[in-house]
């Protein structure tokens, strides 16, 4: 496996150096796509909850790495880092804990060129420091954390470019579809050891562990049957054609409220084409500013939890729990494939028993009880970040992310 694709969780110094450079090149390339579309200035970006101004996002990514690596922060608390910042106003601009979301459109940020220079300076210093770093998990933890953060921000930036309709070169979109055949797999169930061993900052020789994956604990999983593949566009189109968005009995109370606000009659970005006049129109979709024909076998994407739940109710199926999903993913069953899209589960995002926040204190704890667990990965997720134990989480109404669903039988 290439150094840049090897799992970041146990990456050694040279692997981390290669991956950090790869991640920064990707971040800068995505920013250049936004800049080419005239979106580098904050005022040109709509103020949506799902977005940050691209220039702020770029600076924040480098600042996060500087905070935890160069400034040797013991946590994300504003007082827990060394004061010797590279930018005199860096904390005032890029600390998400002290800069509210709405304020990010009104900051007197440096020019794009100056922010790029800052990004290069941070990375150069990190690589130099990493070359002299030992190999313990404790010493490598901040580098692994910074890499994971930049990889997650890269996917968020790509999703933002989709939201904004910005063209992206195919090599940056990373979208290489592989659509397995639809089938169902039965599993006998049993006791699954969920979560990962190790301390909150992964200093016990177990590699990097996110705080929400702790602590390792046994979980009994009853027998279940689960789709081998994600729900396809063609399957979801049948739900739409059967009046799925108008038949409120398929929607939860919260889902109905979301549907009323969205005024939606099909998934986000779907557009109905008239066809040949016979009444058999077809669907097209917007992908990074381009209108393209929707491929039937492709997994349906940009689906909110509410839409996933409604589809399941219509199909007389259900979403898997995150324990069922993890059981299937760790089983080694050759037919169970994951990775095209993040997958909604039936499980609210809650801490595992014995949870303690890690150094990035705001990563998990503020989102418990309000967010829902997604499992797997997406085409936009670097392979080094992928893990069958990774717990992604979003608000139920998010349909801008690269998410779909697979179902279980009752």
Report whether the peptide linkage leading into residue 215 is cis, meaning its omega lies within 30 degrees of zero: yes
State the average pLDDT for the chain: 93
User: Facing residues of 286 across strands?
Assistant: 291
> Does residue 200 carry a pLDDT above 60?
no
| Each residue's pLDDT tens digit, 30-57 | 999 999 998 876 667 899 999 999 999 9
> Does residue 362 carry a pLDDT above 90?
yes
Report the CATH fold assignment for 174-410. Answer: 3.90.1580
| Each residue's pLDDT tens digit, 232-290 | 999 999 999 999 999 999 999 999 999 999 989 999 999 998 765 444 578 999 999 99
First vs last C-alpha separation in the chain: 39
> Does residue 203 carry a pLDDT above 60?
no
Per-residue confidence at 113, pLDDT binned at 50, 70, 90?
very high
| Each residue's pLDDT tens digit, 204-216 | 457 999 999 999 9
**Mean pLDDT value of segment 119-138:** 96
Q: Which residue has the tokens 């669903």?
A: 405
Looking at residue 276, what is its pLDDT?
52
| Each residue's pLDDT tens digit, 180-193 | 778 999 999 999 99
Per-residue confidence at 174, pLDDT binned at 50, 70, 90?
confident
Looking at residue 201, what is its pLDDT?
46
How many CA atoms within 13 Å lie on the side-chain side of 44? 12
Asked if 258 and 397 count as a contact pair (C-beta separation under 8 A), the reply is yes
Per-residue confidence at 229, pLDDT binned at 50, 70, 90?
very high
Percentage of the chain surpassing pLDDT 90? 87
| Each residue's pLDDT tens digit, 391-410 | 999 999 999 999 999 999 99
Q: Which range, of 75-89, 166-180, 306-320, averages the lowest pLDDT?
A: 166-180
In degrees, rounded to 5, the angle at the alpha carbon of residue 260 between the alpha carbons of residues 257 and 263 is 145
Burial class (CB in 10 A: 0-12, 13-18, 19+), 395: middle
Looking at residue 237, what is its pLDDT?
97
Per-residue confidence at 140, pLDDT binned at 50, 70, 90?
very high
Instruction: Tell me the C-alpha to C-alpha distance, in Å, between residue 164 and each of 39, 99, 101, 176, 289.
Output: 9, 23, 18, 22, 8
Looking at residue 43, what is its pLDDT?
65
Q: What is the pTM of this model?
A: 0.95
Asked if 358 and 262 count as a contact pair (C-beta separation under 8 A), the reply is no
> Does residue 58 carry a pLDDT above 80?
yes
**Would you give the distance in Å from CA 7 to the centre of its chain?**
16
Q: Which residue has the tokens 């909150």?
A: 200
Q: Which residue has the tokens 């702790």?
A: 214
**Mean pLDDT value of segment 60-87:** 97
Asked if 17 and 123 count as a contact pair (C-beta separation under 8 A), the reply is no
């Amino acid at each position: 496996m290439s150094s840049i694709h090897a799992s970041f969780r146990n990456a050694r110094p040279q692997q981390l150096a290669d991956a950090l450079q790869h991640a920064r090149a990707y971040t800068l390339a995505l920013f250049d796509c936004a800049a080419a579309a005239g979106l580098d200035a904050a005022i040109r970006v709509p103020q949506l909850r799902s977005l940050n101004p691209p220039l702020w996002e770029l600076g924040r990514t480098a600042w996060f790495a500087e905070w935890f690596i160069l400034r040797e922060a013991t946590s994300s608390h504003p007082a827990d880092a060394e004061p010797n910042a590279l930018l005199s106003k860096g904390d005032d601009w890029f600390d998400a804990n002290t800069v509210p979301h709405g304020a990010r459109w009104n900051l007197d940020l440096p020019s794009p060129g100056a922010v790029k220079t800052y990004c290069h300076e941070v990375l150069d210093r990190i690589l130099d420091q990493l070359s002299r770093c030992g190999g313990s998990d404790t010493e490598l933890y901040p580098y692994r954390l910074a890499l994971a953060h930049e990889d997650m921000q890269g996917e968020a930036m790509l999703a933002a470019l989709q939201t904004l309709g910005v063209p992206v070169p195919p090599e940056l979109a990373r979208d290489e579809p592989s659509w397995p055949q639809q089938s169902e797999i039965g599993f006998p169930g049993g006791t699954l050891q969920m979560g990962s061993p190790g301390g909150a900052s992964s200093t016990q020789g177990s590699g990097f562990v996110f705080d929400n994956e702790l602590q390792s604990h046994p979980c009994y999983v009853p027998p279940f049957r689960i789709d081998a593949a994600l729900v396809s566009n063609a399957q979801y189109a049948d739900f739409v054609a059967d009046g799925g968005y108008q038949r409120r009995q398929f929607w939860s109370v919260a889902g109905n409220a979301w549907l009323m606000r969205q005024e939606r009659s099909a998934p986000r970005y779907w557009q109905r084409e008239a066809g040949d006049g016979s009444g058999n129109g077809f669907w097209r979709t917007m992908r990074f500013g381009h209108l393209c024909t929707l491929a039937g076998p492709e997994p349906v994407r940009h689906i909110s939890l509410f839409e996933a739940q409604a589809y399941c109710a219509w199909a007389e199926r259900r979403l898997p729990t995150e324990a069922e999903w993890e059981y299937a993913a760790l089983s080694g069953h050759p037919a169970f494939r994951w990775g095209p899209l993040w997958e909604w589960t039936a499980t609210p995002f809650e801490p595992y028993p014995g949870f303690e926040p890690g150094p990035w204190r705001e990563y998990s704890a503020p989102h418990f009880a309000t967010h829902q667990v997604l499992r797997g990965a997406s085409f936009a997720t670097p392979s080094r970040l992928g893990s069958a134990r990774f717990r992604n989480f979003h608000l139920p109404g998010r349909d801008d992310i690269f998410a779909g669903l697979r179902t279980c039988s009752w």
